[in-house]
Amino acid sequence: MIDGHPQPAPARWVADPDALDEVVGAAGAAPRYALDTEFHRERSYYPKLALVQIAWADQIALVDPLEVDPHLLAPLLDGPARAVLHAAQQDLDVLTHACGTVPAQMVDTQLIAGFVGYSTPSLMSLVGAELGLRLPKADRLTDWLRRPLTEDQRIYAASDVAHLFELYDRLEARLVAEGRLEWALDGCEDLRSRPVGPVAPDAAWLRLKDVRGLKRQARGVARAVAAWRERRAARLDTPVRSVLPDLAVLAIAQRAPRTMAELRSCRGVDDRHLRLGEEILAAVEEGRDRPVDLPEREEDEVERTLRPAVTLVSAWVSQLARQQHLDTSLLATRADLVALLAGAPEARLASGWRAQVLGEDVKRLVAGEAALSFDGAGGLRLIDLR
């Protein structure tokens, strides 16, 4: 029992191709299936899939990808049944790498909860708030790659998919009542079709802390060395920090060493890295001859005269989101406001429901056709000036 509610049927352990074919056939024949994954990536470049949890009808299966090829899940993922997930972004990344595909149809209960006022809720908090259930807690340091899994681990893993149908049905009813179901489904499709996977090697340098403090030539070296590091990490399937730490990349970029002795003197470089010294020096030489400018930041894309509008409208967006019972990030991020003001054709606020709720009013504000004023109660209100 879970807080007075019966537990779902015991999960079936699936560790051979024939058993997985049965699960794929049965789940794929249902109108929907719930899906979750357990994975690790702290010791590898690519995520290591450790477990796949699938629920359909009144059944739950725990698929062991260490024993059976996860690509065998592709017919289920590519089929007509709708997948129900929670906090799906990382799962989509993992499935892309492990299975070569993602669900053809998908809803994300964390995302759609944002359309009824939640702010990126965990599964445990959302199930508690909506269904009155308390899910079993997991050990944050659980090693999902170790076999055999304990009974507690299996119960926890199964609980991640056991209540997703009921949770989605509850949220869907509220979305229908508020006329927001299509908004939520559009958001899920945006997430499903968003590109996933590792960073492009030539863009890896932009993730370095303090990279904006480097000069042009040093940035060129940082880009080349970071790209070399990214490619090597991907080839060896090892974390980038194991190839060369960020501190070393920045130190090498600043000093641009030409010799092994100079490379050895760079902070963060030790004997392990010197074994790859010739490759590092070759990357440094490549980057030294290719200085690079920083890409413009989002705020640089907006005319200086409109930048104060971003700050003011951001405050109004937060208030409007509360009034509309929307997660603020779903209504508009700062990047969304910048894109609209910069006239970007793909701006999310330029079309669809966001344009109706907010985008058109923002355009009226910057055109001088409307204004924001204090309402006397600590909030903002929109005033029509036409």
Q: Tell me, which fold does domain 298-384 have in CATH?
A: DNA polymerase; domain 1 (1.10.150)
What is the CATH number assigned to the segment(s) 12-192?
3.30.420.10
Q: Are 19 and 67 in contact (CB under 8 A)?
A: no
Assigned token pair, 186: 């559009």
Same fold for the pair 12-192 and 298-384: no
Residue pLDDT, tens place only, 323-340: 999 999 999 998 899 899
Burial class (CB in 10 A: 0-12, 13-18, 19+), 305: exposed
Q: State how far the Cα of 269 lies from the Cα of 262, in Å rounded to an integer.
A: 10
Mean predicted confidence (pLDDT) in 331-353? 90
pLDDT tens sequence across 51-96: 999 999 999 999 999 999 999 999 999 999 999 999 999 999 999 9
Convert the pLDDT of each residue in 188-236 to its tens digit.
Answer: 999 999 988 888 999 999 999 988 889 999 999 999 999 999 999 999 9
Question: Which tens digit of pLDDT belongs to each residue from 101-144?
Answer: 999 999 999 999 999 999 999 999 999 999 999 998 877 778 99
- If you classify domain 201-288 with CATH, what class do you get? mainly alpha
- E strand residue ranges, the chain: 12-14, 32-40, 48-56, 59-63, 82-85, 106-108, 370-374, 380-384
**Measured CA angle at 55 (ends 52, 59), to 5 deg:** 120
Give the range among 16-25, 88-97, 103-112, 285-294 with minimum mean pLDDT: 285-294
- How high is the pLDDT of residue 376? 82
- CA distances to 254, 340, 356, 357 from 386, rounded to whole Å, are 56, 22, 19, 19
Flag whether pLDDT at 296 surpasses 70: no
Contact 234, 45 (CB under 8 A): yes
**All structural domains of the chain with their residue ranges:** 12-192, 201-288, 298-384
